[in-house]
Structure 1
Amino acid sequence: MPKQIHVNLFEMNCVGHISHGLWVHEDNNRHRFNDIEFWTELAKLLEYGCFDAVFLADVIGAYDGFRGGPQTALREAVQIPNNDPLLVIPAMAAVTRNLGFASTFSTTYEPPFAFARRMSTLDHLTKGRVAWNVVTSYLPNAARNFGHEDEVEHDHRYEIADEYLDVLYKLWEGSWDDDAVIRDRANRTYTDPAKVRYINHVGEYYRVAGPHLSEPSRQRTPVIYQAGSSVAGREFASKHAEAVFVGGFSLDDVRGNIEDTRARAKLHGRDPDHIKFLAGAAVIVGRTEREAEAKYAEFQRLRSVEGHLAHSGAGLDWTRYARQERIADVVARKDPGYQRLGYRYKPEQTVGEVLDRVGGYRRGPFFVVGTPRVVADELEKWVDEGGIDGINLRQFLTPGTAEDFIELVVPELRRRGRYRESYTDGETLRERLFGAGNPRLFDVHPGARYRDPTALVA
């Protein structure tokens, strides 16, 4: 049987996610993101298309490092305004039976106890269809929003996150026994007190007594997603993640990153097959090559280079330079931010080439423009040669990108045996990824050790 392809829609509770400038397209409905109907309509569309999940990104700060403030981000709607991703999940869950929901939440600035209850609540309300995308937050403005002078040092954020996850595992996996809730009306006992316990966690960063306030949900621990590409990020993913958002400059790079993470997972006592790898993919499809290329040309025409520069954290305002100037000339000027150019660009490159790359969509290994057959060929190549398990589908238009994929690409993938014909009704999101009978963390996952009450005090 050919390997089936997992597909999430890459989404964010905002106007402009990553396709900057395209909110102005006449067919784009991004301005409706404040309306609950925007989310319920999208959820029903994705369920019709048998998507694995909607993957909700998030940031908790403004992109204010470009041109000395947030003005560009505000004008171009670069992930601002944005709303809480967790709060739209119940609305989408209410109009679907099988679609999954992966939401981003940071471990750096908010304590774990309240978040544990929030995710357990969502797992109950969705009947086990939620995932958590673990991030540590990198924007300096995010740090200042939570009382810090500047962002917490990169590797230190992962040290904090590691303990954060430990607290959550204790709450989700160890605080309540599976049979703690007995609902004994005759003896007026809803929960057996002997089967619920404090966790009494005392660590370097957190002190949490417990017990967890929510009774066990179907998955207990939501599916753990993670997107770190640094050494510290890959180490964290290899220990905790069940689905990794992977990238690279080429398929060889991607395959190398996957192999590295799998090897690290084995050192943590995990089965490397207990991790799925997903790539952010840009798919522009048309019934003909001409139609697909016309869409691409229109997207390129409307793109916002300034929006992309603000989002990328550009140290320099490239629009101030002549297109023919070389990177070597820019470095020689020693304008503020020039020190960051060495590892990104080559001296002989021109400013024009940099601007075309920053603002252009046709870059990286996971980009395709073409007919359904061309797109399906590329998806199969990414899976078979790159080693990924699926994609997070980048949106250019809402709902147009998802509609095109469902109408044109899904039937072609189904003909090839690469895409599910229907959902398995009632499965959890973890079972969708790893098979029936696996609604909870695998026994070899580090979080599973807290199912043994004695581990809480070890």
Structure 2
Amino acid sequence: MTARKPILLNGFKQATVGHTAIGLWRHPDSQAHRYNQLDYWLDTARTLEEGGFSGLFIADVLGVLDVYQGRIDATLRAGIQTPSIDPLVLVSAMAAVTSRLGFAITLSTSYEQPYLLARRLASLDHLTGGRIGWNIVTSALDSAARNLGRDRQHSHADRYQIAEEYMEVVYKLWEGSWEDDAVGRDVGGNLFADPAKVHAIGHKGANFSVPSAFLVEPSPQRTPVLFQAGSSEAGRGFAAAHAEGVFLVSPDTGSLRETIEDVRDRAAGRGRGADAIRFFPLATVIVAETDAAAQAQLDDYRCYIDAEAVIARHSAIIQHDLSTADLDRPLARVDTDGIRGVIEETTRGPIETRPTLRQFAETIGITGGGLIVAGSAKTVADALEGWIEESGADGFNIPGVMPCRTFPDFTRLLTPELQRRGRLMAIGGPAHSGNNSLAPARHAFPPNIQRRFGAENHRCEKSG
């Protein structure tokens, strides 16, 4: 019998109160208010590792959500992404209580200087033993731009142009500045690091100037596992060039398969292998002892959806104020510099087939716009396997709908069922050995980067 490939799982959270499930902070079982307490994150990390999850993906934003009605009132009332703390500061502590769990952290190419970002991620890669991933975003909130010294954000096209040069800089820093054996620790020769094997990158481009050598010696992975979440035309091209993991949001497996096949074809056109990228659609999972109990739990959660807050969040995502829109008219396409992939996904097809704004708010209030299943362990496992087969995905981002309950229920009920089916990695094996379980098999560089830097790459080749 042919072994079935494992289903890769990421826990999906944001260091805030309201994330994908909007309004559920009011539920009596919710622990969402503990987002700023360290033990909340330590318990989450332990639970995910026990449950066989490959990683924890932490989303982030750098601005308040102030598009709806031109102010932040609705989003503050619902705790949507404000208040929010920096996810990067949580990682060292979570890594200290786990040994295999990877951590994919959202950081922006629009507002983080590449030299500093490269240093922070390399530092964490050292401290975690090679378990760091970077979710590369270009940022789409005007409020972030205004609070970080600009009049407004860059255009969508400009953001991706900047991101391309940004990647060139960080690849040079991580991969080209220090040779593998630059650090010799030769006490007798009074030589900690060999100056002949540490190189200035000499980068001078349209957006960034980084002339010197990197400040950090090579970490276990050098380059962290690279993730990307944009599904626009520019986003798909960027993913094909750089991503090792792609996060997707779609309510059906047909559109997921279309996006996955398109990005894989683009990656192949760049000389990358068929398995160079792994795909993780958003999937909300409610699992209980029986189908009826799970459905009752989901129905209970739906009672707490804050529809106005959902619309306020979506207004910020698409950078278009929906406060005066007719709730009972189908979603209309807008042309903004918001998140284009979300705009395109939510306005697919003829207008008469699209949901109304009211229906949209009621539907995604729990799911964040992705797939959803509620049932017993068998029912949910069947659904996850079916989605994998239908879409061609490699795994899922599982949001913590009810913090401190969703992931423990998954681990207690669903993990054993997925293990029984051979769909989940065995738990309790040897400690992490430096190969991030979130990453596909890697070479020294992705093939496109090998071509780009060629002889400029001072790094000695070694197996991934």
Normalised by the length of structure 2, the TM-score is 0.89
**Structure 2 spans left out of the alignment, 5+ residues:** 334-342, 460-464
Within the candidate set 336, 353, 374, 2:379 is matched to 374
Q: CA deviation at 1:428?
A: 3.4
Kindly report which structure 2 residues correspond to 1:320-335, keeping only aligned pairs within 5 A, or say none.
Answer: 325-327=328-330
Paired with 1:380 and 1:387, the residues of 2 have a C-alpha distance of: 10
Query: Aligned match of 1:183 in 179, 185, 204?
Result: 185
1:327 Cα offset (Å):
5.0
Distance 1:47 1:147 in 2: 40
Give unmatched runs, 5+ long, in structure 1.
Answer: 332-339
Give the distance between the partners of 2:79 and 2:152, measured in 1 at CA: 24
CA distance in 2, matches of 1:220, 1:71: 43
SS at match of 2:373: strand
Query: Within 2, Cα distance between the matches of 1:171 and 1:245?
Result: 25
Distance 1:152 1:261 in 2: 25
**Residue matched to 1:292:** 294
d(CA) in 2 for partners of 1:120, 1:430: 14
2:20–2:365 CA contact under 8 A, matched in 1 = no
Residue 42 of structure 1 deviates from its aligned partner by: 1.4
Residues 307/427 of structure 1: CA separation in 2 closer, same or farther (3 Å cut): farther
Q: Give the share of equivalent positions with the same residue, in percent.
A: 41
CA positional deviation for 1:445:
4.4
| Aligned residue in 2 for 1:243 | 245
RMSD of aligned alpha carbons = 2.5
Residues 354-363 or 31-40, more deviating: 354-363
SS in 2 for 1:186: coil
Name the counterpart of 2:447.
Answer: 444
Q: Distance in 2 between matches of 1:99 and 1:288?
A: 29
Alignment-derived partner of residue 145 in structure 1: 147
Which of residues 250, 253, 256 in structure 2 aligns to 1:254?
256
Decide whether aligned partners of structure 1 residues 450 and 177 sit closer, same or farther in structure 2, where only a CA change above 3 A counts.
farther
Hey, what's the Cα distance between the residues in 2 that align with 1:115 and 1:210? 15
Deviations 1:278-300 (A, max 9, x none): 01110111111221011101110
Q: Equivalent residue for 2:23?
A: 21
Who is 1:415 aligned against? 420
My pick for the range that moved more, 172-181 or 28-37, is 28-37
Matches of 2:56 and 2:103 in 1, distance apart? 5
**What secondary structure does 1:273 align onto?**
coil
Q: Counterpart of 1:386 in structure 2: which amino acid?
A: S
- From the superposition, tell whether residues 398 and 343 of structure 1 become closer, same or farther in structure 2 (CA, over 3 Å): closer
Say if 1:431 and 1:185 are closer, same or farther in 2 by CA, change over 3 A: same
Is residue 4 of structure 1 aligned with residue 9 of structure 2? no
Structure 2 SS opposite 1:245: strand
Distance apart, 1:180 and its partner CA: 0.2
In structure 2, C-alpha distance between the alignment counterparts of 1:395 and 1:41, rounded to whole Å: 13
The correspondence for 1:310, drawn from 309, 312, 315, is 312
Number of the residue aligned with 2:462: none
Distance 1:409 1:191 in 2: 49
Q: Does 1:387 align with 2:376?
A: no
Q: Aligned to 1:200, which of 199, 202, 223?
A: 202
Distance (Å, rounded) in 1 between the aligned partners of 2:357 and 2:269? 44
Contact 1:100 1:429 in 2 (8 A): no
Give the Å deviation of 1:246.
2.2
- CA–CA distance in 1 between the matches of 2:129 and 2:31? 29
SS of the counterpart of 2:275? helix
- Is the deviation greater in 355-364 or in 88-97? 355-364
TM-score (structure 1 length as normaliser):
0.90
SS at 1:255's partner residue? Answer: helix
